[in-house]
Amino acid sequence: MSSTSDAQIISLFHARDQKALSETQQKYGGLCHCIAKNILGSREDAEECLNAALYKLWESIPPAKPKNLAAYLSVTVRNLACNRRAAAKAAKRGGGELDVALSELENVLASPERPDAVLDTMALSDAINRFLGNLESETRVMFVLRYWGDLTIKEIADKCGVGQSKVKMTLLRTRNDLKAFLEEEGLR
Amino acid sequence: MREQDYMKIMNNLREDYISEAVSWDGTAQKNRRSIKRLSLGVGAIAAAFAVVVGGIGYGVYRERLSANSKTDPENSEIALEQLNLFGGHGEIRGYTLSRGGCFFRDDTNFYCYDAKWAIDGSSPIFPNEKTDLLTDGERLYTQHDNTLYITDSYGKETVFYTPETEMTFEEIWHLGGDNYFVKGVKITDDPGTYETPLPYTNAGFGVAFSALLNSAAKTLTETPEYITSYQISPEKGGLYWYAPEKKSIQFMPADDANNSRTVYSGIENAESWGVDAQTDILYYEVIERRDTEAGSDTAAAIYTLMPDDAENKQDFGIGYRGDYNTALIADPENDYPCYSYFTNQHCYGVMQKQTESGLRLRVMRNNIAMDDGEQVVFDVPMSDLYKGNLPDRMVRPEMVFLDTGDYLIFNLPPTDENSSGLVQVNLETGAWFLRDENASGDQPENSGDPVQQDSDSGLYGEDLASGYCSPQDFPQYYIPPENIDADNIECYRMLPFAKASESALDTAALGAHLPSGGAWSRRDPDAPRLTYDKAFNCITSGSELNAWVIMEELCKLSGGYDAEAYLNDNMLSDREF
């Protein structure tokens, strides 16, 4: 992993030094590749996605000066991957970890007794954000990595430096807590 | 739910939560968390040992002492006064692990956290339940009632230190005179602090601390910041410690926690380091990119520094100095990077080496300065060590070395296919033993007379003893078939991996713990929250014998016992949800 700081990398972008791209890839490429691969289900597609994201970074910095380069790149990669997936699969579900994550969360976010109910996605997002705000950092991180980043259990365990059982248990309890929270809020 | 709805919801998560998640550094967080029995600096030996112990299965207790137990007829004749604190024989000798932690031996066994095994290799690894002993390498310590005691091998105690607030100690180092360096956890009721499973006081929450203790003045002075990477130096009357934010190694005098001074500066992301006490030279290893003819690659590089001379960093070379491939960067097609591990006295080099006969794992041992003629203490084909497919590449393994001078014990680097195991090497004869459920089972090369355990034997074919329990620890309980329907059972024990009795109770799936007396209590052993009957009914009437469903149910019934802490205790990473 690169020891170059984010500030130094952004300076390279501003100086139009292409080393910025290699440093960014070295530092954050692994995580972003995981995110893209788990959405797209294909290593090759994920690599293309990452390359496209790096190109987008090159185009946008400057003038952009992201406070958190990791997050900036991750969001860019995820958006590209999601768009690519949507274009390829339309409304059908494809393969990959995203399906697994979705299947874990769908009965939490929506009541199985009302499968046809129209979801108020904005209200749910707001509620989830409030719910996340009350969690301990590590728990919140695991939730976000799983359901926003679509990382596998093992990838989350490796990143958080814990065992896979702990990740599974944490996510299980968090899903149960979220379900109860949404019921209290009347959103489920 | 439609996929696009799910994506819309997740796309609107707060940016700061996303930033937090993608930037999360698990290793740094682990260091700041209270670390029950994991304060080993370089590696997580408790995790490694726990995986090994859990994977192999538990054998029969033959050396347990309990006044409340239904005694095993074979053991009833053992005189209590002959057994030491571990239930073994002979004086207990303690050893400290560099950067924290400790282990012990007596006449027969090694004891390291929750594992014990015969020194001569005649036994597999058994659970060790006496896990509350500490040592500074000279004396033994135990603790209870918020007091640290000096103890002899048989339990005769004298008060050493009573802190003013509730805390538990996890490490103690003697810095000379009345001065000690200690690490532990301060107990707090505030759930906003880090939640931690605590081995000694059953408290639920605590904050890790490091401090200087003066046993004569009875003072405990916390260090300004929590110290994770350090090397004690009694000869200089203090300790060296790595200050990551200052990118330096500081020296803290034993009697003044607030007066550290920078000794070695310009050190960033040191993976491993050690100060040679004779020359004051610092040796440290970093992972960095280096240019080669073929391009650039990462490598484990060692540098040296003299005190107060940051400008003159010297390149000591790649990895451990040894007779491996002379290429600047290890060629992935042939050799792999060699990683160095520094302890207070030694440097260990670990490498995979490609030879004509195949891939081998080699461990070298030397003094810190590596100038005393390296000793190759282990050189074995990888195929002898690991079942299944070998990895294409071995990432930097987290390893810990237990070095008694006559034996060297270390954990095998785990691979994607195989869990870690233990190797014990007799440094005088070169004979070695492997303790790992994935061992190939063949007679390994370069061994003396090792005991090959049958990895399929489950419980080692021993009859299960019944009725042993300890009011002090968290024992596992077994329900003998004849007791399933009994009313008057004083204590039970369930062994994991034990097959169910006729009641179809799958204790293997449960791995549950029930303290003595049948009560389910984590916080306070004297105030049970759940009677045995209720727990038993929960377990036996569960509609699905899913371990975690039942565990959650038991947690709820016992008023919120923290199953997550239980998981941390037991590292049941192999269990299925």
- Side by side, the strands of the sheet bearing B179-187 are B167-176, B179-187, B206-214, B219-222
CA distance B135 to B122: 26
CA distance A154 to A174: 18
Residues of B in contact with A138 (CB under 8 A): 24, 29
Q: Which two tokens stand for residue B119?
A: 């020194």
Instruction: Write out residues 26-65 of B within 8 Å (CB-CB) of A.
Output: 26-27, 29-30, 47
Give the CATH class of A97-184.
Answer: mainly alpha
CA distance B506 to B292: 57
CA distances from B481 to A33, B448, B485, B513, B518 (A): 52, 41, 8, 18, 17
In this predicted structure, what is the pLDDT of residue A114?
60
Q: What is the pLDDT of residues B127-186, one digit of tens each?
A: 677 778 899 988 999 988 889 999 999 889 999 999 998 888 888 999 999 999 999 888
Q: Is residue B387 part of a domain?
A: no
Per-residue pLDDT band for A96 (boundaries 50, 70, 90) equals: low
Q: Is residue B189 part of a domain?
A: no
- Residues B419 and B51 sit within 8 Å (Cβ to Cβ): yes
Per-residue pLDDT band for B294 (boundaries 50, 70, 90) equals: low
Window from A117-131, B99-113, B349-363, B563-577 with minimum mean pLDDT? B563-577
Averaged pLDDT score across all residues of chain B: 64
CA distances from B542 to B119, B344, B552 (A): 43, 52, 11
Of A102, A166, A172, the CB nearest to B568: A166
Q: What is the pLDDT of residues A19-46, one digit of tens each?
A: 888 888 888 888 888 888 888 888 888 8
Q: Is residue B528 part of a domain?
A: yes
Residue of A nearest to B269 (CA): A3
Q: Where are the domains of chain A?
A: 6-89, 97-184
Per CATH, A6-89 and A97-184 having the same topology is answered no
Q: Does domain A6-89 have CATH number 2.60.40?
A: no
H-run or E-run covering A126: helix A121-133
In chain B, how many domains are there?
A: 2
Of A86, A138, A161, the CB nearest to B27: A161
- Residues B347 and B368 sit within 8 Å (Cβ to Cβ): yes
Residues of B in contact with A71 (CB under 8 A): 15, 18-19, 22-23
Which distant-in-sequence residues (6+ apart) come within 8 Å of B28 by Cβ? none
In this predicted structure, what is the pLDDT of residue B96?
84
Which amino acid, residue B215?
S
CA distance A52 to A157: 28
DSSP B61-129: -SS---TTSPPPTTTTTS-GGG--TTSSSS--EEEEPTTS-EEEE-SSEEEETTEEEETTS-S--EE--
Residue of A nearest to B11 (CA): A148
Provide the b/e sequence for B229-248 (b: ≥16 CB within 10 Å).
Answer: bbbbbbebebbbbbbeeebb
Q: What is the pLDDT of residues B336-377, one digit of tens each?
A: 556 777 777 788 888 777 667 677 788 888 877 766 666 788
Averaged pLDDT score across all residues of chain A: 82
Q: Which two tokens stand for residue B467?
A: 């009725």
Which domain range does residue B23 map to? 3-28
CA distance A113 to A108: 12
Q: Which two tokens stand for residue B6?
A: 């799910």
- Residues B134 and B140 sit within 8 Å (Cβ to Cβ): yes
CA distance A163 to A170: 11
Q: Which two tokens stand for residue A165?
A: 């059982």
Contact A3 B24 (CB under 8 A): no
- Residues B161 and B113 sit within 8 Å (Cβ to Cβ): no
CA distance B29 to B37: 16
